[in-house]
Amino acid sequence: MRRRRSTIAVSLIALLSVATSSCTQLSEGVQNNPKAVLGALGGAALGGGIAALAGGGTGAIVGATLGGALLGGAAGHYLDNRDKQLATQAAQKAFESSQSGQPTVWNNPDTGNSGSITPTRTYQLANGTYCRQYQQTIVVGGQQQQAYGTACRQPDGTWKIES
């Protein structure tokens, strides 16, 4: 009986356990970027229901991801295509394979822009579909902007921003 209790306890702790990942910090010191007019980002959220995060044309997808669902439409004006591509790749990786609390970071040395996306909660809909709440951070011109939302996994393996 005692042995069984110990085994159960270790099982529980094993379930709690995760490797302590090296949480890469967002790069700092992104300064003097001529594109940086972050004030425009705040009030321009367009809402969700936009395209999946992977598959199809990169430009359209990342525009939907960042411009529409995550940070507001104005963000697209201050991120170049490579920024958006990196952000999209980070988002897909974060949603599909990162545990909650673990940030996936992107950084474009050419523009100095960077960001991260961190799943914060995982749950299932009644039909078994996985959804993940997340926190998105983007740094443009040294200024940081945060957004929150929910993405749900589609049958084809892509993730759709729901809110």
Partner 1 sequence: MHSDRNRPQLLIAAALWLALPLAAPRADAQAQPTYDPRAAFRETDTNHDGAVDHAEFEERMADVFFMADVNKDGSLSPSECSATLVQTENITAADSNHDGKLTLHEFERARLKEYDQTDTNADGLLELDEVVGAYEKGKQ
* Angle at alpha carbon of residue 155, lines to 149 and 160, rounded to 5°: 20
Chosen residue from 12, 28, 42, 60 binding partner 1 by CB under 8 A: 12
Tokens of 140: 């443009």
Q: Does 25 bind partner 1 (CB under 8 A)?
A: no
Please give the Cα distance from 119 to 148 (Å, whole number).
Answer: 10
Chosen residue from 77, 121, 146, 163 binding partner 1 by CB under 8 A: 121
Q: Which residues 46-75 are close enough to bind partner 1 by CB under 8 A?
A: none
Minimum distance, C-beta of residue 146 to partner 1, in the bound complex (Å): 17
123 strand-pairing partners: 131
Please give the Cα distance from 154 to 163 (Å, whole number).
Answer: 15
Q: Does 24 bind partner 1 (CB under 8 A)?
A: no
CB atoms within 10 A of CB 1: 5
Tokens of 60: 């359209």
Q: Which CB sits closer to partner 1, 14 or 110?
A: 14
Helix (H/G/I), strand (E/B), else coil: 99: coil
Q: Does 153 bind partner 1 (CB under 8 A)?
A: yes
129 strand-pairing partners: none
Q: Does 135 bind partner 1 (CB under 8 A)?
A: no
Q: Does 109 bind partner 1 (CB under 8 A)?
A: no
Q: Which residues 75-104 are close enough to bind partner 1 by CB under 8 A?
A: 96-97, 99-101
Kindly list the residues in this chain that would bind partner 1 in the complex (CB under 8 A): 3, 5-21, 96-97, 99-101, 121-124, 127-130, 153, 157
